[in-house]
Amino acid sequence: MTPGRLRLDIDTTRDRLLALGCPYAAEHLDHLLTEAVGEAMAPHVFLDRLLEVEHSGREERRVKTSLKMSGLPIGQTFENFDFAFQPAIERSRIDTLATGAWIRNAETVLMQGPPGVGKTHLSVALGTRAVEMGFSVLYYRFDELMTALKVDAGLPPAQLKRRRYMNMALLIVDELGFEPMTREEASLFFRLVTYRYGRGAILITTNKSIREWTELLAGDEVLATAILDRLLHRAHVLNIKGRSYRLRDLEEALQRAHA
């Protein structure tokens, strides 16, 4: 077969791949064909490699798009979390959560601890891992979530349940507890928790202990009990204590400045 004819055949195959919605296979076709000829590759092996390239490309695109839509902060992963600095965190429990089983079961993760101990970093890392595993994820700081809930306060149930914070597989609520809720805010939060109970997983980071939630929820003990009853029914509670990462970084910066 002449080089010109081979070129023409490759172009036709590439066009067909593009028409079938396989841009990554089309992009790598030349390279894979060269490998196939050089290695005397069996046809089924070549086809498997071509499909793997397409699958990998699509998966990378899916993860990138899903992370962007999730609102998760960028760059906070398990790989760059300093577990050695925070020995109070049981790595085995984090590894178990990283399997995603609790998300499939629509359970709760409650991370408690003072500011700076790594709650946000771990919650983002778990959210990122969940996206990689194929779960839909939405991240909110609590004040941002409350703004959204207030905007949607008057929606009828049929419209409300279509909101992303209601139907994502995992909702991450970060930094709950820095300001007490008003009665309206507590009621809106109760509506969110009640709807998601048994339907979707929630991860909450807070600087408040469970016994402080009544004060946090406008002093309403009945409402606090109702919310905690749902959140803690099937929950993984992590109490994170220790030094602040931010204070550590500040101390190191000051030491370098005076060295």
The model's pLDDT over 74-114, given as tens digits with 9 standing for 90+, comes to: 999 999 998 888 887 889 999 999 999 999 999 999 999 99
Neighbours of 91 (CB within 10 A): 13
Residues 54 and 90 in one domain: no
Q: Are residues 112 and 240 in the same domain?
A: yes
Residues 95 and 171 in one domain: yes
The verdict on residue 38 lying in a domain is yes
User: How far is it, in rounded angstroms, from Cα 90 to Cα 80?
Assistant: 16
User: What's the rounded Cα separation, in Å, for the pair 73 and 54?
Assistant: 28
- Which residues share a beta bridge with 203? 109, 172
Closest CA to 77 of 40, 146, 125: 125
The pLDDT of residue 116 is 87
pLDDT of residue 4: 46
Cβ proximity of 133 and 172 under 8 Å: no
Q: Are residues 104 and 209 in the same domain?
A: yes
**pLDDT at 245 > cutoff 90:** no
Do 21 and 129 fall within a single domain? no
Tell me the mean pLDDT in the region 52-72. 96
Asked if residue 137 is part of any domain, the answer here is: yes
**Same domain, yes or no, for 117 and 188?**
yes
Q: Is the pLDDT of residue 69 over 70?
A: yes
Domain-located, residue 57: yes
Question: Contact, 202 vs 108, CB < 8 A?
Answer: yes
Residue type (1 letter), 173: V
Provide the CATH number for the domain around residue 199: 3.40.50.300
Q: At what angle do helices 29-38 and 3-19 cross, to 10 degrees?
A: 130
Q: Is the dihedral of CA 91, 95, 100, 101 positive or negative?
A: negative
- Within a domain: residue 170? yes
Residue 237 resides in a domain:
yes
**Residue 130 and residue 177 in one domain:** yes
Domain end position, chosen among 39, 66, 93: 66
Residue 71 counted as domain residue:
no
Indicate if 87 and 54 belong to the same structural domain: no
Same domain, yes or no: 125 and 208: yes
Give the per-residue pLDDT at 185.
96
Indicate whether 250 pLDDT > 50: no
Global model pTM greater than 0.75: yes
| 169/60 same-domain check | no
Say yes or no: 94 and 62 in one domain: no
Number of C-beta neighbours around residue 161 at 10 A = 12
Considering the domain boundaries, does residue 255 fall inside one? Answer: no
Q: Does 232 share its domain with 201?
A: yes
Tally of domains within the chain = 2
The mean pLDDT value of the chain amounts to: 90
Domain around 99: 83-248
Report pLDDT digits (tens) over 111-166: 999 988 999 999 999 999 999 999 999 999 999 999 999 999 999 999 999 999 99
